[in-house]
Amino acid sequence: MRKLVDLFSKNKKAQLLLFIVYVAVSSLSLILAQQSVVAFLLLLFSILLLYFLKLSTKAKWIIGLVIVAVLIPFSASQGQAYESYMDVATLVGIYCAMALGLNIVVGFAGLLDLGFIAFFAVGAYTYGIFASAQASKFLHFGHFPLSGESFWIFILIGGIVAAIFGILLGIPVLRVKGDYLAIVTLGFGEIIRIIFNNLDKPVNITNGSMGIASIAPPKIFGIVIANASQFYYVALAIFLVVVYIVTRLEHSKIGRAWKAIRDNEIAGQAMGIPLVKTKLIAFAIGASFSGMMGVVFAAKQTYIDATSFTLLESTTILVMVLLGGMGSVPGVILGAAVVTILNLQVLTEVSNWLNQLNTNGVISIPDALSPAKMQRFIFGLLLILFALYRPKGLIPAKNQKYDVNKLKKSTTKSVFVEPQVSNDKKASGGSEI
Residues within window 270-329 making contact with other proteins, judged by CB under 8 A? 270-275, 281, 311, 315, 318, 322, 326
Q: Between 7 and 168, whose beta carbon lies closer to other proteins?
A: 168
Q: Does 416 bind other proteins (CB under 8 A)?
A: yes
Instruction: By CB under 8 A, tell whether 382 contacts other proteins.
Output: yes
Residue selected from 145, 170, 268, 393 as contacting other proteins according to rule CB under 8 A: 268
- Polymer length of the chain: 433
The radius of gyration of the chain's CA atoms, rounded to the nearest angstrom, is: 25
Q: Alpha-carbon distance 346 to 352, whole Å? A: 10
288 Cβ contact partners less than 8 Å away, ≥ 6 residues apart: 101, 119, 159, 160, 162, 163, 166
Residue 179 is a binding residue for other proteins (CB under 8 A)? yes
Smallest distance, other proteins to C-beta of residue 268, A: 7
The nearest distance, CB 208 to other proteins, in angstroms, is 10
Q: SS3 for 260-299, per residue?
A: HHHHCHHHHHHCCCCHHHHHHHHHHHHHHHHHHHHHHHHH
Binding part of the chain for other proteins, among 90-98, 107-115, 296-304, 345-353 by CB under 8 A, reads: 107-115
In the bound state with other proteins, the residue whose beta carbon lies nearer, of 362 and 388, is: 388
d(CA 222, CA 219): 6
Could you tell me whether strands 219-220 and 223-224 are parallel, antiparallel, or unpaired per DSSP bridges?
A: antiparallel
For other proteins, which stretch binds (CB under 8 A), given 8-16, 133-141, 148-156, 403-411?
403-411
- Residue nearer to other proteins on the CB measure, 83 or 190: 190
Under rule CB under 8 A, which residues in 338-367 are in contact with other proteins? 366-367
DSSP letter for 105, please. Answer: I
Q: Which helix (H) or strand (E) holds 55?
A: none
Q: Shortest approach of other proteins to residue 186 CB, angstroms? A: 6
Which residue in 80, 363, 421, 423 binds other proteins (CB under 8 A)? 421
Shortest distance, position 314 Cβ to other proteins, whole Å = 10
Stretch in the footprint of other proteins (CB under 8 A) among 43-51, 90-98, 166-174, 294-302? 166-174
Count CB atoms within 10 A of the CB of residue 133: 15
- The stretch near other proteins (CB under 8 A) out of 55-63, 80-88, 192-200, 210-218 is 192-200
**Interface with other proteins in residues 197-226 (CB under 8 A):** 198, 201-202
Q: Which listed residue (47, 91, 146, 186) binds other proteins by CB under 8 A?
A: 186
Residues in contact with other proteins, counted by CB under 8 A, come to a total of 97
Q: In this chain, which of 58, 140, 177, 221 binds other proteins, going by CB under 8 A?
A: 177
Interaction of residue 54 with other proteins, rule CB under 8 A: no
260 touching other proteins, by CB under 8 A: yes
| Helix, strand, or coil (residue 220) | strand
CB 268 within 8 A of CB 260: yes
Q: Which is nearer to other proteins, 219 or 256 (CB)?
A: 256
Per CB under 8 A, 253 contacts other proteins = yes
The Cα–Cα gap between 295 and 162 comes to 11
- Are the C-beta atoms of residues 161 and 262 closer than 8 Å to each other? no
Residue type, 45: F
Question: Applying CB under 8 A, which of residues 59, 66, 263, 352 lies at the interface with other proteins?
Answer: 263
Residue 212 pairs in a beta bridge with 304
AA letter at 27: S
Spatial separation of the C-alpha atoms in residues 200 and 117, rounded to whole Å = 21
* Position 42 contacts other proteins (CB under 8 A): no
DSSP 397-416: --PPPP-HHHHH---SPP-S
For position 390 contacting other proteins by CB under 8 A, the verdict is no
Cβ 288 vs Cβ 162: under 8 Å: yes
141 forms part of the interface with other proteins (CB under 8 A): no
